[in-house]
A and B are shown apart, each in its own frame.
Chain A
Amino acid sequence: MHGGRHRVRRSGPERLDVPTLVGGLAATGVGVLLLLDSVGALRLSFGWLGPALLGAVGAYLLAGGLAQRRR
């Protein structure tokens, strides 16, 4: 009874794949930048693209590292 009260339901959080979630969001974000550039709403340059791509890859690696550490 005591042990049951403290049992944590882990199935929910464990199902969430955080690195893939971050990677997917980053890919979507880069896609939105490209879309804005193609419709002329934004002038994409290397000054934009470099930080955007590096930030996306960095966020994915960070999420992967943190998820691995938690496990």
Chain B
Amino acid sequence: MTEQSEQTTERAPRPRRFLRSRDDRFIAGVCGGLGRYFNADPVLFRVGAVVLVFVGGVAFLAYPALWLFTSVDEGTGQPSGPSPIRRLLGGADGRIRAGRVAAIVAAIVGGAVALTALVAGAVWATASGGGGWVAAVLIAIGLAAVAGALTGRRRAAWLLVPALVIAAPAGFVAAADVRFDGGFGDKHYRPTALSALPAHGYKLSAGRLRVDLRDVSFAPGTTTRLPIQVGMGAVTIIVPPQVCVQSDTRVGAGYVNVLGDEEGGLDVNRDLTGARSAAPRMQLKAKVGMGALEVVHRPEDSQFDDHHGRFDSGDSTVENAACTGAVTG
């Protein structure tokens, strides 16, 4: 009986525990550990992880979670020590200490606040004309990192974190040519005469700009210039159908639709020129950093007006017909 019991004990499978692989690893040994745990080829898990990065991004959460909460296999199926999260919150013995948890939570919150402040500061300063100062700070950090690297100060590598946090948003704002000039919020204008149009056009830092020109009488053979500058947001310009619209639009990142001539993406530059009729012309010179600009004939053609509650207004007559002489005043 005893002998039979011993045999049974020998045959019983060892308690299985998922551990990260120490030897079969590309990043942290998670896929290698999964392969061992499920007795399968780790390549399958690696391919699956890559697929899950692109499909929903689940791997971005799952992989770090598995890394944080599991120990490394010391090679015998036993953990070589506590998991990274236990080591972080407790120490080498893996016992979680309240003081250390509080310190780490405070460090995470403080770090998040600091990074958010850096991003917001970099965006604000660059868009408000202080791009030179942001660049100078970035250069100073970069040179400090170089000096640290040359003198063997390994902690200098941490300087690259604020450098990246400043460089990415400041670069985005500079490339999109976002400018904070002209206030914030929703601005609606409905001038009733050409003389009411501001000489320097309409400016908005961020928000929603709507310029309705239907009450303005444009005389045949005349050309009206309308500059528009918006840092971030959406612009709708409503022009009467008898006006031929010529435009020079620049959008850093976003979408342009001038009476059906549309394009979206990064570095969008649309020029709409050429007119064969004597219809009154409006030369629109628009610059939008991030956002969208549309020129329509009717408010209901707008894709961004709130009362529509949807992006696409469907079929509408938006073509620039006055330029061809198809529509006359």
Residues of chain A touching chain B, judged by Cβ–Cβ distance below 8 Å, are: 14-21, 23-35, 37-39, 44-49, 52-53, 56-57, 60
Contact = CB atoms under 8 A, between A and B. Distances in A.
Interface stretch (B167-175, B202-210, B291-299): B167-175
Main secondary structure of the interface of A (DSSP, over half): helix
Nearest to A15: B152
Nearest to B252: A46
B148 interface: yes
Nearest to B140: A31
Contacts of B150: 16, 21
Contacts of A56: 167
20 contacts: A17-B154, A19-B157, A20-B156, A21-B146, A24-B142, A24-B143, A24-B147, A24-B148, A27-B141, A31-B142, A31-B167, A32-B135, A33-B171, A38-B131, A45-B252, A46-B252, A46-B267, A47-B267, A49-B174, A49-B175
Interface in B230-279: 252-253, 266-267
B145 interface: yes
B160 interface: yes
Contact of A53 (B154, B159, B168, B266): B168
Contact of A27 (B151, B167, B176): B167
Main secondary structure of the interface of B (DSSP, over half): helix
B151 A34 contact: no
A26 to B, nearest CB: 7
A3 to B, nearest CB: 26
A2 to B, nearest CB: 30
A65 to B, nearest CB: 12
B138 A24 contact: no
Contact of A24 (B160, B171, B266): B160
A52 B74 CA distance: 42
A20 B147 CA distance: 9
A30 B147 CA distance: 17
B149 interface: yes
Contact of B159 (A18, A24, A26, A35): A24
Contacts of B98: none
Contact of A46 (B144, B168, B170, B266): B266
B106 to A, nearest CB: 27
Nearest to A35: B135
Contacts of A16: 149-150, 152
A38 B146 CA distance: 24
B49 interface: no
A17, A44, A60 — most chain B CB neighbours (10 Å): A17
B220 to A, nearest CB: 38
Given A30-B138, A44-B174, A39 B167 contact: no
A45 B267 contact: yes
